[in-house]
Chains A and B, each alone.
Chain A
Amino acid sequence: MRDLKKDYFEDIQLFSNRVQVFWAILLVALLFSMPFLVKTYYLTVINLMAVNAIVALGLNLLVGNTGQISLGHAGFVAIGAYVTVMLLNHDVPFALALISSGAMAALFGIMLGIPSLKLEGPYLAIATLAFGLAVTIIIGRMDFLGGRMGLTVPKINLSWTGLKYDISLYYLILVLTLVCTIVTRNILKSRIGRSFQAIRDSDIAASAIGVDITKYKLYSFGISALFAGVAGSLWALYLGFINPTLFTFILSINFLAIIVLGGLGFVTGSIMGAVVMTYLNIRLEDVVDIPFVGPALLRFSEAFMMPTGISNISWVLTGLILILVVLFEPLGLYGIWLRIRIYWKKWPF
């Protein structure tokens, strides 16, 4: 049996064999050569996927691995974005702004985590949801945060790379996404990650064998919020403009949809979900342009619905995806991938 692990080191190492190393290097090389292969528009699409992937990694740590639901992650993203913009406006260097965004979001995450320690199920859902809504309402009333009108994000100084701004921004986001992925993966393989999973599977059993539930739940909230804060900071740079209406309840739901579609509790799942869901959302914004399906839908909406409301199809599809994944493929895209891989590994049998 090749899959049997013989020692601890084998469990925690990043790649289990040479084939995986080869594919990983190929993927990273492909991502790094993207700016020279495709048009700038596609780079912005990849940027959006990467930013969503960072949030999804953090959220998956909280929801998939620790089993605590959060419907307010848009709030942490908003905090990250606003901290970055405010600091950049005061001529703070970007590296510092990024770190402060993450730290501020993590602080709020722990603050939300403390009252949430005793809560579970719907009580936790409503507490996090309330937090997400409160953040956007409060930001909308603060005049020095731009109120409802929002703020313009200053461009950061990336000229030392010697590349165009778009391309350097792409590399910045890409590198940070890779770092976040590896960090998440290492957290999961460490003592902290195993404690998270113990809490998810049974908190009573976990505390019986000596896992400090309070500490690890707060860790989970903190790390998850930190990732969201970092993603918010990058999102602000990518958009160039932020206002409170960007960070709605719907955005939180979208993050949840990403991890449910990708696969709860898997690092690969978060990334797969972010890529597919972002692509779907962008594609469905102008659903009429999709060949065959688009015109048919347009004719259908002229007959029965309102043609102007056709963009609402993306909500219907997101909802349908959420339901179908939970009913038929609880491990999401990662589960499908896992099944295909096992099928080929054991092929003739």
Chain B
Amino acid sequence: MLLQLIVSSLVIGSIYALMALAMSITYKASEIPNFAQGEMAMISTFVTFVLLNAFGFSFLPALIVTVIFSFILGVFLEFAFLRRAKNPTPLSYIVITIGFQLMLYGLAGWKWGSDQRQIDLPFSESRVLFQNDSVAITELNLATIIIAVAVLIFIYVLIQKTRLGLAMKACQQNVRAARFNGIPADRILAISFGISSVVGATAGILVAPVITLDPSMMWDPLLKGFAAAVLGGMKSLYGVVIGGFMLGLVENIFGFYISIEFKSVVAFAIIVIVLYFKPSGLFARHYVRKV
């Protein structure tokens, strides 16, 4: 039974890790916590759904269109709203992203109603790949873990090995110095938002078959992803991924052995406790601000 718990923790943990990574990319680049992340992923998932069902696309073209759409959505948020803020404080960024979240939520509810829909991916939950008396792995489980790991590796390579990643890191450390060296900081920031939106959309598509597709589907994954990011330390890319898997594991073990009802509460309680002892999360270095 423990093995089965670990498998399901890995599956849900990879969703949390993706959401946490999406949160971390934009937070690292701009110190903006993007509350609209979940709703952006939800809209992207709906785009896939519409392409698959109403337009009769097959899965791969639909996926490509979704990736392009979610990239544009992320760039739009940065370009249209966040860049326009005058004399911004951290609070005004939080308010803008919450406003964008409400807008997307309302638009999705207006367009698609609150019916719960079923999305058909080429890998389904009902086909079991491997089974013995202690553990069963379905096609969807395996696909989720593989795709999540692939995206994580892709982001790692993108940030550590490419010129774009170098420019992103430069903007994170010091925007003004980056500008002096000829890096177009605004464009880099918009691209970071686009990339983070694509990562979030992946999480949305992977989680949609498990929880049914409706406008509020991403609330729980968003909050858990946010919590995982905070747990791992928002600014450490390894940290947030480990935080995501840890959160999945703790949640599932607590849910199985102690109480399934308070599963969500314990996740948040752990975060408050961790933050009390390590205010910047487990894996990020805590900087004390100086005058």
Contact = CB atoms under 8 A, between A and B. Distances in A.
Nearest to B23: A122
Interface in A307-334: 308-310, 312-323, 326-327, 330
A327 B223 contact: no
Interface in A257-315: 260, 264, 301, 304-306, 308-310, 312-315
B110 A301 contact: yes
**SS of A interface (majority):** helix
Interface stretch (B95-103, B149-157, B167-175): B95-103
Interface of A: 63, 67, 69, 115, 118-123, 125-127, 129-131, 133-134, 137-138, 141, 204-205, 249, 253, 256, 260, 264, 301, 304-306, 308-310, 312-323, 326-327, 330
Interface residues of B, number: 52
Given A138-B265, A312-B110, A330-B92, A122 B102 contact: no
**SS of B interface (majority):** helix
B31 A121 contact: yes
A63 B103 CA distance: 23
B236 to A, nearest CB: 14
Interface in B227-241: 227, 230, 234
Given A130-B272, A323-B99, A305 B33 contact: no
Interface string B213-245: 000000100010011001000100000000000
B111 interface: yes
B131 interface: no
B271 A126 contact: yes
B234 A313 contact: no
Interface of B: 27, 31, 33, 81, 84-87, 90-92, 94-96, 98-114, 219, 223, 226-227, 230, 234, 261-262, 264-265, 268-269, 271-273, 275-276, 279-280, 289, 291
Most buried by B among A253, A256, A316, A320: A316
Most buried by B among A115, A125, A130: A130
Across the A-B interface, the 10 shortest Cβ-Cβ residue pairs? A315-B106, A322-B99, A319-B102, A130-B268, A319-B103, A122-B33, A312-B109, A316-B106, A323-B99, A118-B279
